[in-house]
Amino acid sequence: MSAASTPHIQPNGAPIAESILLPGDPLRAKFIADTYLDDVVCFNEVRGMLGFTGTYRGEQVSVMGTGMGVPSISIYSYELIHTFGVKNLVRVGSCGAMQTSVDLYDVVIAQAASTDSNYLSQFGCPGTYAPIGSYRLLERTVAAARGADQRFHVGNILSSDIFYNADDTAVDRWARMGILAVEMESAGLYANAAAAGVDALGIFTVSDNLIEGTHTTPEERQTAFTAMMEIALTAVTK
């Protein structure tokens, strides 16, 4: 039990586990807690960014929304790591596929996260830093996906600051480099984790295919991505 708090996370003594799942949508965090965790306590309501701690198969796990975009997840992940001692951060999000071989509802595991965000410039590397996921979490996640018989892809994704892009050639140019899918947060999460020496990974369910113009509904985005959630929970527990 910790008395710690930050401007954006005020647990009032409720615990936060060393392993946390991070969906963008706080209602998806509530869904995960309600569906999968036992003995749940809510540890954050600031700005409606709900966070919960409970147990999964007897092990303590937390889940919290991050909001959308690199700036938002970067605030929450920084505070979780530096104030609350979180060590394993697994983003569970939706993504837009950029390859025809990546179907709706497939799982994408982000080995790396290319980005058009300027967030990484603060770290001052004299070149282009490549944000990568934790290999330990990647191995565990691949094993969990195989165990669940889930169709999945592992590779480079794009964390973009731009949902509605004025440049209609951007998708094709990233796709030509083999980018599997686009989302909006993982590069910031990976950079924060690397700078702090902790483990992070992004796991996604495909909600749209940007090449084929197909998509799922908002209701499905909130609740129907259960395979990804179960894979992530398996990966962060024994």
Minimum Å gap between C-beta 36 and ligand R1P is 17
Classify burial at 128, counting beta carbons within 10 Å of its beta carbon; exposed 0-12, middle 13-18, buried 19 or more: exposed
- Return the amino acid letter for 85: G
Which chain residues interact with ligand R1P by CB under 6 A?
A: 23-25, 68, 93-94, 163, 183-185, 221
Interface with ligand URA, residue 25, by CB under 6 A: no
Residue number with the shortest CB distance to ligand R1P?
A: 24
Active site residue 208: yes
Length of the chain: 238
Residue number with the shortest CB distance to ligand URA?
A: 96
Max alpha carbon distance in the chain (Å)? 51
Taking CB within 5 to 8 Å according to partner kind, which of ligand URA, ligand R1P, none is near residue 185?
ligand R1P
Rg, the chain, Cα only: 17
Taking CB within 5 to 8 Å according to partner kind, which of ligand URA, ligand R1P, none is near residue 96?
ligand URA
What is the DSSP secondary structure assignment for residue 166, as one 8-state letter?
Answer: S
Interface with ligand URA, residue 134, by CB under 6 A: no
Taking CB within 5 to 8 Å according to partner kind, which of ligand URA, ligand R1P, none is near residue 24?
ligand R1P
List 66, 94, 134, 186, residue binding ligand URA (CB under 6 A): 94
The closest of 19, 238, 204, 45 to 110, measured between CA atoms, is 204
- In degrees, rounded to 5, the angle at the alpha carbon of residue 22 between the alpha carbons of residues 163 and 19 is 155
Six token digits for residue 131? 């944000």
Separation between Cα atoms, residue 15 and residue 17, nearest integer Å:
6
Stretch binding ligand URA (CB under 6 A), from 69-77, 88-96, 102-110, 138-146? 88-96
Taking CB within 5 to 8 Å according to partner kind, which of ligand URA, ligand R1P, none is near residue 140?
none
Separation between Cα atoms, residue 63 and residue 47, nearest integer Å:
16
How many chain residues bind ligand URA (CB under 6 A)? 10
Q: Which is nearer to ligand R1P, 13 or 205 (CB)?
A: 205
Q: Tokens 């060393």, residue?
A: 18
Q: Which residues are catalytic?
A: 208
